[in-house]
Amino acid sequence: MATATTSRTDVYTRVTSHIVEELERGVRPWLKPWNAENAAGRITRPLRHNGLPYNGVNVLMLWASAEMQGYSCPFWLTFQQTKEFGGHVKKGQHGSPVVYASTFKKKEQTEDGSETEADIPFLKEYTVFNAEQCEGLPQHFFTLAQQPTEKIERIERAETLFANTKADIRNGGNQAYYATTGDYVQMPPLEAFRDAESHAATLAHELTHWTRHETRLNREFGRKRWGDEGYAVEELVAELGSAFLCADLNITPEIRDDHAAYIDNWLKVLKDDKRAIFSAASHASKAAEFLHSLQPQPAA
């Protein structure tokens, strides 16, 4: 009989093992949707039945499921939700796992004999189905996947988001980086990139780094020198944060040559800690949410 602890361990192990396998093949699994044929003509984060996007490691898990099974529709529903919308899951279809964090209360006895109650965090897993695995759903579940997106609109939207962060973004030179000491982002000129999307995706990566500053998300992984484990984890967060922002903005991510060397470091981090990808994806989601929070809010 599987215990709750065993079940939780299996979730961490299974997800991490899949990502490790992909990295060992030299593939960044969070970029795979942009390398695949996609009938939608656009990429988005996986969406819940109500249109809200998934966050954290669930984005990676559902992107992987969509890639392996060829789904272009971004919507995912539970078995019960398909029935509530008047549809049903097609016979013989298998769902995809997603997780959410929950807690349970545990009573412990202190040295003086009194009892304390602690909230213990754990992961719960449940199953969702892509809208393409279902029949009888309302048409709006498929409209998003059929809408073409003009390239110029994507870039304008991205540039607006970047400008609204009020980050100190400097242009010039031949390197892209975030300088922690001066708290600024350095970017080569637009002309140095293959196209505008590559420029925007790289800037999304560096702005994810920008969110780590102590006055923002105060993200620190014990970095002491270039290339150490803390450095590798922060780079992984920035890669995922850029991928999430690219999905939100319909930008094709740029696979940067200078990041190829990180794959071995990421493999070491993921193999040493089965929870690392969950933590990195969570930090990346928080970074993307922080950048979105800096945008002007529509008037009520």
pLDDT in tens, 101-119: 777 777 777 777 677 777 7
Look-up of token digits 């925007």: 200
Say if residues 137 and 131 touch (Cβ distance below 8 Å).
yes
Is residue 84 one of the residues assigned to a domain? yes
Residue 28 inside a domain? The answer is: no
Last residue in a domain, options 113, 148, 183:
148
Do residues 246 and 252 make contact, with C-beta atoms less than 8 angstroms apart? Answer: yes
Confirm whether 98 is domain-assigned: yes
Question: According to the model, what pLDDT value does residue 145 have?
Answer: 53
- For residue 271, give the amino acid letter: K
Q: Point out the least confidently predicted range of 21-30, 175-184, 217-226, 237-246.
A: 217-226
**166 and 178 share a domain?**
yes
Are 82 and 190 in the same domain? no
What is the rounded average pLDDT of the residues 126-154?
A: 73
167 plus 260 within the same structural domain: yes
Domain count, the chain: 2
Cβ pair 208, 287 in contact under 8 A: yes
Of residues 66 and 214, more confidence is placed in 214
Candidates 46, 71, 250, 34; CA nearest to 148 is 250
Question: Do both 253 and 290 map to the same domain?
Answer: yes
Q: Do 243 and 122 lie in a common domain?
A: no
Most confident stretch, 67-81, 107-121, 216-230, 285-299 = 285-299
Question: What integer is the mean pLDDT of 126-155?
Answer: 73
- Please say which residue of 109, 129, 148 terminates a domain: 148
Query: Mean per-residue pLDDT for 12-31?
Result: 82
Poorest-confidence range of 108-112, 175-179, 241-245, 282-286?
108-112
Any domain includes 10: no
Report pLDDT for 81.
96
Q: What is the mean pLDDT of the chain?
A: 82
Looking at the fold, whether 91 and 226 belong to one and the same domain comes out as no
Q: Is the pLDDT of residue 259 over 70?
A: no
* Strand arrangement, sheet containing 115-130: 76-77, 115-130, 96-109
Q: Are 148 and 135 in contact (CB under 8 A)?
A: no
Domain ranges, residue 179 = 149-300
Report the pLDDT averaged over residues 59-76.
86
Position 168 pLDDT exceeds 50:
yes
Does residue 22 fall inside a structural domain? no
Report the side by side order of strands in the sheet with 169-171.
169-171, 184-187, 177-179
Q: Are residues 171 and 251 in the same domain?
A: yes
Q: Is 6 contained in some domain?
A: no
Least trusted range by pLDDT, from 8-17, 60-69, 156-165, 290-299: 8-17
Tokens for 276? 């690392």
φ and ψ of 8, to 5 deg: -65, -45
Q: Are strands 76-77 and 115-130 parallel, antiparallel or unpaired?
A: antiparallel
Question: In this structure, are 110 and 154 located in the same domain?
Answer: no
Domain match, 143 and 154 both: no
Does 24 reside within a domain? no
168 and 95 within one domain: no
Residue 102: the pLDDT is 75
Provide the token pair at 31: 């970029």
Residue at a domain's end among 96, 121, 148: 148
pLDDT at 2 over 50: no
Residue 2 lies in a domain: no
Whether residues 154 and 252 share a domain: the answer is yes
Instruction: Tell whether 256 and 226 lie within a shared domain.
Output: yes
